[in-house]
Amino acid sequence: MSREYPKHPLIGIGIIVLRGEEVLLIKRGRPPAQFAWSLPGGGQELGETAETAARRELLEETGLSVGPLTLIAHVDSIHRDEHDFVQWHYTILDFAALYQGGEIKAGDDVIGIAWVHPKQFDAYELWHEARRVIGLAVSKLRLGISLSPAP
């Protein structure tokens, strides 16, 4: 099935990687949102769990692996063309994880990668929904809520 002009919403995955007060952002090299700064992530594949998709996408796009993931929120990303037809439609599940080390490197569909402090988000023109889910992840940390699942 084509991801462009789909017959139903597709599942996307986003990963909020936190390092101190910074967040890992990538600059997309392919549509949708080509050339936009965003959270690492991509489409879930058939037979793949959401968490496995998050780990795969993070590794493919940034070269990083992380420990425990926590589901933070969902986002609806709907893009319409000039005729008001739905060109792209993703329901995105956003996970968060703490940076554990390693060298970041941009994958083949990423044209930029950076650790960014939230005060710099305007310079990166970060989408308001990405800002919202990052805020939720940071709030969990500040409240002392673990980003790892309960044992």
Mean pLDDT of 84-109: 93
4 part of a folded domain = no
pLDDT given for residue 146 in this prediction: 59
Q: How far apart are CA 12 and CA 80, in angstroms?
A: 17
150 part of a folded domain = no
CATH number at residue 23: 3.90.79.10
Tell me whether the omega of the peptide bond preceding residue 151 falls within 30 degrees of 0, making it cis.
Answer: no
65 part of a folded domain = yes
Distance spanning both ends of the chain, measured CA to CA = 38
Helix (H, G, I), strand (E, B) or coil at 43: strand
Tally of structural domains, the chain: 1
116 part of a folded domain = yes
Bridge partners, residue 147, by sequence: none
151 part of a folded domain = no
49 part of a folded domain = yes
pLDDT tier for residue 79 given thresholds of 50, 70 and 90: very high
Is 34's pLDDT higher than 50? Answer: yes
149 part of a folded domain = no
Residue 126 lies in domain = 10-142
Is 148's pLDDT higher than 70? Answer: no
Give the whole-number percent of the chain exceeding pLDDT 70.
93
Q: Compute the C-alpha angle 55/79/139, nearest 5°.
A: 50
pLDDT tier for residue 147 given thresholds of 50, 70 and 90: low
User: Two tokens at 65?
Assistant: 């692996």
